[in-house]
Structure 1
């Protein structure tokens, strides 16, 4: 369970981005140093949160009876051990940069037959999104310690908001997402068979819906902001952080 140097490298990039964002000139609007800092902070921070998301799945599975996850390297926070680096990290990062929507990434293979019971299987699925919710709450707390009207304040605010949105998307009862995984142990064999058939393309269909139909994505953002504000987040700062991150728009 010793963290990988790769994970510490990702955190180092996030810290470097935070440093640039903190010392960028906010009075110049989209100052290159400010924008570069926010982009690095959000990308690396979100990549670290993806790793923690998958670690959450693996850790609960390990405690629940699937000890193979340790041999697969899932408890080392090393992105190289996940199923497909391109689908797990590269593609989600591209979606995030293009549209600001956090596509679920990472993948750990769990031996569900080794888990103790159905409740354990549900908690294995929920552990990932709950780690995002916890990260969002922690970031909201950290933001209160950061000087306002700085790039670091705006970047961390947007990163916190993204964690809440990631939590919401992942708990949707869509085959291939964690919300479905939490329900699946209690579903009929016919429902599980249907989920297995549509699992490869159902998440992509969902994201096409989010990109093409603004009312759907707006609803998710509204719910995310409601939870974010309840955790002490600053919606204005989160929106400004998003504008800096999506500087090309």
Structure 2
């Protein structure tokens, strides 16, 4: 989602950049549950897929926000460290509900990758429009990278040798990353896509658009509820994943396993 701009006091002291144990714990859950899906060790395959997808999805959300923060730090906002954003701790995000909880809820409810929340960047410390655009682009680029890595096994022929359940989980998780990247890159106020173009707009245009930012995400999902738009959107997602030879059947099967409470 968007990187929100604020102006505040300089907080240079007490910066902690060590990786948070909370983040490491989430990574451990992803690793163990992924192993359980791969080896079919778990008696409940669906629950193992659920744990793997949710924990890996939260890891990607943390890295998305970290990319925003790290880019801002190197662009001139030295207050980032003191805010805790570089620890990868999801509880340090200003809007933990928007950054972590709602994206996970949307995955559970509808199988769609909701853009994450915001990290607060003190934009007044940063000079140059290209730097501002890069900070906004850094988060979605993480989702793009995640999606590519998750889809590479399919492109390299893993269908012939890897466990079906594990590949289905990868396919569904990749779909979440692709949807998150595409939605985030929309040039809509409140999303990273708008943050990329905003520095190049006139001050008058930015002032006119600003009041709509708080409603834009709801508007995007409202539009996605329109059946024809929804079909076209997911057809495009399938087209993108088809570049890596990810079968739609595997994505659907991954979603079925993920919703273990329905099985």
Using structure 2 for the length normalisation, give the TM-score.
0.85
The answer on 1:194 being equivalent to 2:208 is yes
5+ long unaligned stretches in structure 1: 26-30
Greater CA drift, 155-164 or 171-180: 155-164
Partner residue, 1:176 = 190
| Counterpart among 151, 171, 177 of residue 165 in structure 2 | 151
5+ long unaligned stretches in structure 2: 1-16
* Contact 1:133 1:164 survives alignment (8 Å): yes
Partner residue, 1:47 = 58
Looking at structure 1, the residues matched to 230 and 63 of structure 2 have their Cα atoms a distance apart, in angstroms, of 25
* Contact 1:103 1:207 survives alignment (8 Å): no
* Contact 1:21 1:150 survives alignment (8 Å): no
Number of positions where the alignment pairs a residue of Structure 1 with one of Structure 2: 243
Looking at structure 1, the residues matched to 85 and 237 of structure 2 have their Cα atoms a distance apart, in angstroms, of 29
| Counterpart among 79, 84, 91 of residue 95 in structure 2 | 84
* Shift in alpha-carbon separation, 1:13–1:113, aligned structure 2, 3 A: same
Shift of 1:149: 4.4
Higher relative contact order (CA 8 A, sep 6+): 2
Once the two structures are superposed, residues 152-206 of structure 1 have per-residue CA deviations (whole angstroms, 9 ceiling, x without a partner) of 1110121112111110000001111000110111112232113320111110121
The answer on 1:135 being equivalent to 2:146 is yes
* Contact 1:83 1:108 survives alignment (8 Å): yes
| Counterpart among 204, 215, 224 of residue 228 in structure 2 | 215
The answer on 1:234 being equivalent to 2:242 is no
| Counterpart among 104, 107, 130 of residue 118 in structure 2 | 107
* Contact 1:21 1:36 survives alignment (8 Å): no
* Contact 1:140 1:157 survives alignment (8 Å): yes
Partner residue, 1:28 = none
The answer on 1:16 being equivalent to 2:29 is no
* Contact 1:136 1:161 survives alignment (8 Å): yes
Shift of 1:209: 2.1
